[in-house]
Structure formats: structure tokens, C-alpha cells
Amino acid sequence: MKTVPEFFGSHVFDDRVMKSSLSSDVYNSLKKTIDEGATLDISVANAVANAMKDWAVKNGATHYTHWFQPLTGITAEKHDSFISPAPDGSVIMEFSGKELIKGEPDASSFPSGGLRATFEARGYTAWDPTSYAFIKGKTLCIPTAFCSYGSEALDKKTPLLRSMEALNKQALRILRLFGNDDVKCVRTSVGPEQEYFLITKEMYDKRPDLRFTGRTLFGAKPPKGQEMDDHYFGVIKPKVAEYMEDLNDELWKLGILAKTEHNEVAPAQHELAPIYTTTNIATDHNQITMEIMQKIAAKHGLVCLLHEKPFAGVNGSGKHNNWSISTDTGINLLSPGETPYENAQFLLFLCAVIKAVDDYQDLLRISVATAGNDHRLGANEAPPAVVSMFLGDELNAVLKAIETDTPYEGAKTTQMKLGVDVLPKFNRDTTDRNRTSPFAFTGNKFEFRMLGSSNSIACANIMLNSAVAESLKIYADRLESAENFKEELDKMIRKTIKDHKKIIFNGNGYDDAWIKEATEERGLLNYRTTPDAIPHLLDKKNTEMLISHKVFTEKELHSRYEITLENYCKTVVIEANTMVDMAKTEISPAIAKYTADLAKAVKNKRIADESIPCGYETGTIKKLSMLNDSIAIKTAELEDAIIKLQDAKNVEEEGYAIRDTLLVKMSELRSFCDQAETLTSKEYWPYPSYADLLFSVK
């Protein structure tokens, strides 16, 4: 049996494989393309394609695909076999550089947000050499960008690569001013923590709401949920442990650095965290991880739920985006070093992030806005919809000293006293962790905690990279023209702290008083829902910044606006239609049958003895009959609200109607149905209960 180091990355055409299968000239040329963005020569592409094909076939692959990330939020692929006919009637296995570099899928059925008409079907996929090809099943998957016939980006990878290049360009300008001439490129790195639920396939199949929408639309609160805090970091159940073991094996074969696994807060909830890597690769890896999670779950008779809020009343699932900036020489630009107060370069990059988060708090909120995440943000389990930053006591003290031009006394190191001599002694960190903050500094990186569990991390990192690039550009413009670099640097850092300290908050983000302070006193934005947030994507300051850094064109921004709102509307309408169907065809009939059987029981009892009180039966019949009448009324109202959405003049108006009317009607219908569930005999209720779902995996 092979050890992990022996099989890690065995399904990846990585640097080890390239070194061994390519000539030194081809390898060096390809590395220059990957590391420095040099143009790829077709002869190099042909050599790489041939080596890639030979390696893939040797490892059992028969097909190849250009693997891309369209604006559906998931990945896409069209498979072609390696076979080509030979004159003697046999076949040979071929794969050319042209086929490696460019693919031509039918783009007509992918979301475009008005970028092109349906009849304009042609689209192109272009090889991304910075992300390694990999084998999935019997198919060689080649990570690619996806664009229209008119060169507009139809995917999430292209703008992400553009944003990374924008930040690289501006960061290099700053580093040159500090005398760092040996740095060739600056890259952002990400480690996305992935939360998810596991339930049995048997239970899942009995819930139409889970099958159609990914979340439960009905469900009464179980006797026990997460109140005892006994699931978080608890002992992992055997079936879940087996799942995690198989999941790790598959991810490791694909070169994905799966590192940490544990039980999360809610029953049946878990987390997987990788070691961070370059943002582009981390994005690809996270998309693969979500796919493999679901595939491995099926092998174990389980279903992996990635929805942000699959169960009401228990914690939902997020995806913490641990983000940092590093040079190709191995320097983390967000690492304070031993003396952060004296580290001017660190302070400037820190200020760039502070400025970016404050100036573009709306874009960060927009980047995580979905129908599913709206259920999660603002609950006491996830950050609020208000964007703020946590820096901790030490950095706050540093910034305050700079702002007020007073001496910094330094952090006091405290040794932890545990009261047991045998235990090792260690120093307490100078800063605590704040799990309620949307954007928290955690030592040498920032943890952006607002992302939803099912979303691609590309969107959040596009906006974050772009906003920081803008801050760095403003700084570089001023510093490059400054007569006295040090004086201008000091002045600029101090001004940033004064102008943007309102975005810094180290307290409890769950506290209602904070939301009031944030919005009324500090003037921070509070876009509570997707329809509130998305229109601001087209605000002038946002479009000008994103276009100036060539991350998006104006047409591409309008397409994202349309697609995001359309997805929101379609998602909620599907949920509403599912609720109507479940209520009309199963819930109401089940209640009626139970009440009818109770009425028969009353009649039979009184035939035997008229003096029998039958209080339980008659009381339950009365309550359930009233509830069922209310369910019928609310179902009809919900149906009517769905129909009225057709009157909306545009997708924005439809989004507001959903926010203000449809979601209210859905909540009202659910309330009556959930009450009825608590009164109806379990054998009559048509669906597994929350207790069944959350505690089904042994």
C-alpha cells in the first residue's frame, strides 16, 4: 500500500511530471509562461500536449476536456477522446498543441447576461497553464478560461486572472519603491475552509425540497439541535470518518492540500480546510473539492449538502476565505515581522487593505450575495451583512500610535499559567481571534468570513484583489512623484488610518447595538439581501475602478448584474413552487387524513360509550383543522404572489418583489405547516423530520 507522499498528486500533470517528461528547453519555456506570463510558442504547446497525452493514457485516460467555470457557479466540461483513425482501420491516440490551447464548445446555453444573443453560439476555451491539468475518472481535465466569440469573459476564471495581474502590477510598483528589485511577481494566496452537511441518501430521497432546492423548506424544530455545543470538534462518527478518509485520498491524488477535518457546530455539519495556495489554483481546487465531496458521499450512501442554510434553527455553512499576498521570493507581505511598528512596508500593505475594504465594502458584500447566503448572513452563526475589519489589540495600538503621533509601548507578552506543572508553558498570542468579524486579521493573512458554502471563491477574490490593487495604485502614484519618500509615506499611512478607521471594529459583530453603531454613527453600508446589494455593482465608483484595472469591461459588469439577479429570482421562485407543491399534494392531504382518522376514532369510542371525553382527539382535530385551513389560504396567496412576479418590468423589480412579498408569503406558509407537523402523528407526516435528518448518520 502506497503512503500519502507516494500517491499525492498522482492524478496531476504537475511540475514533477513536466520535469521528467519534457525536454529542458520546453520545460524552461513553459515555466517562463507560467511564472512570468511569457507568450507560449506553438512548438512548446505541441510538445506539452504530446507529453500530457502520453501521461494521461498511461494513467488510464481515454478522453480529454477543457474544464471551465461558466457563470452558472459550477464547472462545465465536454469530453473528446484521444482516438484518431489510422489508414489500416485501427486508431491511434493523438492530442495536439492546438487542441490543448483552444477549445470550441457550444456557448449558447450558458448564462451571458445579454453579452450575446442565443443564436450566437460560438464560444472559446483557452488553456490556463498556471493551473495544472488533472485526471478525473478516465478524462484528462485541462483548466481553461471561457470567452465569447466577441472576446467577452463568460466565466469566473478570466476576471480572477485579470484581478491577480492588476494587483501584481501595482504591488510591484510599491516594492520597487522600497528597493525590492529582485521580486518578479506578487501573487495572492487563499485557503478556503469548506463547511458542509452529511445526511443519509435514504432521508434525502424522501424530501422534495432538498432534492429540488438543496435546503429544507419545511421542518419543525427537533427536541435537540446544537444547544449542548457537543458536536463542535466532537468525536467523528465511524461512517463520517470513513467518508472523510476516502475524500482525503481522492483529493490528495488530485494534488489538493486537504489538511484539517472536524465536526462543526450543527449536528451533521462538518468542515474541511486545505493549506492555502495561489488564488487561481485554490479556486480550481475548491470547485473540484465540492464535486468530489458529493461524489464520495454517494459511494457511502450519503448526500453532501453544500447549501448555506439547509436547516432552519441550526447553523448554516460558510466558506472562510483566508487571503494573503506573497512575493515569488517567499515574502508574505502581510506578515508583521518582529516589530510591526517599524515595518513600514508591512504597514503600507496593511493600510492598502484597510482602505480597500472601506472604499469597496459594497463590492465585498456583492461578491457573496446569493439567495442561499441571505439566510445565513446576520444570524448568530455568521458575520452580519455589514462589512467591518478586525485587527486585534496590538495592531490597533500600533495604528493609534501612528495616527496620534505618540510612542508605541509595545505588546506585553503574557505566559499562560495552566496550574498543572506537567503541562508545557507557552506565551499567549498578543491578539485574540474574533469569530464574529466579516474580515479579520489572523497573523499574516485576512480571513474573509462572509462567503457562502456553495459559492465559487472566485467572485470574492476578484473584488478583493481589485480593491487592493486600486489602493496600491493610489499609493504608488503619490510615492513615485514624492520629493521626500519617507515623509510622504508617513503622511499617507497616517491619513489612511484617520480616513478609514471607521471600518475597524474589534467587538461583537453579532450584537444589535453594533449594527446600529455601524450604520447610524459610522456610516457603514448594510445591504441585508441580494436585491439590496447587486444594483450597486453598477455604481460609478465601482465600474470605473474595475474597468480601469481591466478586470471587467462595462458590458461584462452589466452581464454579471443581470445574471446574479436572475439567479436569485430563479432560485427563490423554484423554492416557492416547491413549497406550493409540497403543501398541496402531501402536507394538507396528510393532515386531512390524520384528522379524519381521529374523527373516526372519536365516533367509534362514543358508539362504545358516549361518556368518553375524547379531549385529545377533539382538541387536536380542532387545532389541525384550523391550521389546514390557514395552510390552504397561505398556499393560495403564495401561488398568487408567484404569478404576480410576471408583472415585473425588469429583473431588479422582480428581485424587490421577491424580497418584499414572496419571501414573506413563504415564511407564513412554513410557519403553519411546521406547527401542524408538531401535532400530526409521525406515521402520517409525509416527510422525514429534522430529528431524522440531522441524526441519521451513525
Q: What is the pLDDT of residues 359-418, one digit of tens each?
A: 999 999 999 999 999 999 976 678 899 999 999 888 888 888 888 888 776 655 555 444
Q: How confident is the model over 496-553, as pLDDT tens digits? A: 999 999 999 998 888 889 999 999 999 999 999 999 999 999 999 999 999 999 999 9
The whole-number average pLDDT for the span 156-184 is 95
Domain boundary among 552, 581, 600: 552
Distance of CA 634 to the CA centre of its chain: 34
Stretch among 21-30, 117-126, 423-432 having the lowest mean pLDDT: 423-432
183 and 59 both lie in a single domain: no
Residue 637 clears pLDDT 70, i.e. is over it? yes
Q: Do 341 and 401 form a contact (C-beta atoms < 8 A)?
A: yes
175 and 150 both lie in a single domain: no
Residue type, 361: Q
Residue 61 clears pLDDT 90, i.e. is over it? yes
50 and 132 both lie in a single domain: yes
Residue 458 clears pLDDT 80, i.e. is over it? yes
* 350: CATH: 3.30.590.10
Domain assignment present for residue 189? The answer is yes
The whole-number average pLDDT for the span 41-52 is 92
Q: How confident is the model over 73-123, as pLDDT tens digits? A: 889 888 999 988 888 887 788 899 899 998 876 666 777 777 666 556 678
Q: What are phi and psi of 507, to 5 degrees?
A: -90, -155
The span from the CA of 385 to the CA of 526, in Å, is 6
572 and 613 both lie in a single domain: yes
Q: How confident is the model over 643-673, as pLDDT tens digits? A: 999 999 999 999 999 999 999 999 999 999 9
Q: What sign does the dihedral 172-178-181-184 (CA atoms) show? A: negative
Question: Which residues constitute the domain of residue 97?
Answer: 4-154
> How many other C-beta atoms can be found within 10 angstroms of the C-beta atom of residue 328?
14
Domain assignment present for residue 562? The answer is no
Residue % of the chain over a pLDDT of 70: 93
95 and 173 both lie in a single domain: no
Which pLDDT score is estimated for 89? 80
Residue 427 clears pLDDT 60, i.e. is over it? no
Domain assignment present for residue 546? The answer is yes
How is residue 316 written as a grid cell? 448554516
Mean pLDDT of the chain: 91
Residue with cell 515595518: 343
Give the burial class of 176: count Cβ atoms within 10 A of its Cβ; 0-12 exposed, 13-18 middle, 19 or more buried. Answer: middle
Q: How confident is the model over 242-283, as pLDDT tens digits? A: 999 999 999 999 999 999 999 999 999 999 999 989 999 999
The whole-number average pLDDT for the span 158-186 is 95
The whole-number average pLDDT for the span 429-456 is 84
CA dihedral 492, 493, 498, 500 (to 10 degrees): 100
| Count, residues in the chain | 698
Name the pTM for this structure: 0.93
Domain assignment present for residue 559? The answer is no
467 and 613 both lie in a single domain: no
The span from the CA of 210 to the CA of 694, in Å, is 13
174 and 33 both lie in a single domain: no
List CB contacts of 432: < 8 A, sequence separation 6 or more.
392, 393
Residue 469 clears pLDDT 80, i.e. is over it? yes
> How many other C-beta atoms can be found within 10 angstroms of the C-beta atom of residue 26?
19
Highest mean pLDDT among 344-358, 415-429, 597-611: 344-358
23 and 85 both lie in a single domain: yes
Domain assignment present for residue 631? The answer is yes
338 and 442 both lie in a single domain: yes
Domain boundary among 489, 520, 552: 552
Domain assignment present for residue 86? The answer is yes
Residue 435 clears pLDDT 80, i.e. is over it? no
Domain assignment present for residue 444? The answer is yes
Which pLDDT score is estimated for 420? 44
99 and 176 both lie in a single domain: no
The whole-number average pLDDT for the span 313-322 is 94
610 and 526 both lie in a single domain: no
Q: How confident is the model over 128-152, as pLDDT tens digits? A: 999 999 999 999 999 999 988 778 8
Overall domain count for the chain: 3
> How many other C-beta atoms can be found within 10 angstroms of the C-beta atom of residue 92?
9
* 132: CATH: 3.10.20.70
Longest dimension (CA), the chain: 104
Residue of 639, 476, 631, 459 whose CA lies nearest to 556: 459
127 and 15 both lie in a single domain: yes
> Residue 342 — very low, low, confident or very high, per pLDDT cuts 50/70/90?
low
Domain assignment present for residue 561? The answer is no
* 688: CATH: 1.20.120.1560
Which pLDDT score is estimated for 417? 47
Residue of 17, 35, 18 whose CA lies nearest to 27: 18
Q: What are phi and psi of 567, to 5 degrees?
A: -60, -40
Q: How far apart are the first and last CA of the chain?
A: 28
